[in-house]
Structure 1
């Protein structure tokens, strides 16, 4: 069965066009990936793109750490579009190629510091167990602070929505870096 396709960007409703223009005016500069699918429901698209802008560009986590969390999420969900889009961003942000490759192959990453380990453990446990242990939570708070753990949880939730959207609608796996 053919999956829902993104709407034609040259033939949007006024509501869809408003969301598309908000995305284009923001740091992403283009309407691609899950945002194209979300245009079918402009209210969802508007709220999701605002949340995504916060999670990717404005959270308290530096890009190296948020990209680490995004890659863990992409791999857990086997979201190839998301993986392709964020691998380069993660490299540019300073995540080591060895860590990225280990996440890709489901191997134990060679972490460079306790903060990376805390983010990885938190993300993996939350995605696989649907909760985090007291020890993993405490390590994350120690490394990120309570507000950082709130942002980390938001990033993981948002990129789960992204990955689910990409997987449900079978968006092909070669996403550009500016995707989300």
Structure 2
């Protein structure tokens, strides 16, 4: 990763950093994204890594759905690092190149799946207004249930944290 924050060398990690490093590698296979920045504070990195693993791999959403939410966050925060990491994953998960490009451009993507359209609307409204209006909230509850809505907000919130980290330290794939 390129970064204006000096990134710690894994060969110089202390025991706390090594423990977080090993946990990250066990779920993701690499330290791309914000993890190297967070490694400056292992006490922050450890719970952030665990929350991220939940948001990415353990919610009730299909991979294409969670990646759609992540791309909404990346577009909202104009975060190239998050886009570089998650656009290929979204494409492989089944999101069309056109939908990905439209989301990046903050345009309405053509989504044939009703759940995806609703997820996009929920995420973009939450990001734009910091709330979800009553009518859209009721639609979200009907489609995803209470657990799904909590997990949706969790994904959006976590990846907002990721985007702010990547943007603050100008982190991008090399």
TM range (shorter): over 0.9
Match of 2:7?
Answer: 6
Match of 2:166?
Answer: 166
Structure 1 residues not aligned, in runs of 5+: 176-180
Match of 1:97?
Answer: 97
Match of 2:19?
Answer: 18
1:20-35 correspondence runs (5 A): 20-26=21-27, 28-35=28-35
Match of 1:80?
Answer: 80
CA distance in 1, matches of 2:145, 2:95: 21
CA distance in 1, matches of 2:84, 2:116: 21
Higher helix share: 2
CA distance in 1, matches of 2:99, 2:31: 30
Are the equivalent residues in 2 in contact too, given 1:39–1:45 (CA < 8 A)?
A: yes
1:1-180 correspondence runs (5 A): 3-26=4-27, 28-172=28-172, 174=173
Which of structure 1's runs of 4+ aligned residues deviate more than 4 A? none
CA distance in 1, matches of 2:105, 2:156: 20
The TM-score with structure 2 as length reference comes to 0.94
Match of 1:178?
Answer: none
* 3-state SS in 1 of match to 2:11: coil
* 3-state SS in 1 of match to 2:12: coil
Query: Number of residue pairs matched?
Result: 172
Are the equivalent residues in 2 in contact too, given 1:77–1:164 (CA < 8 A)?
A: yes
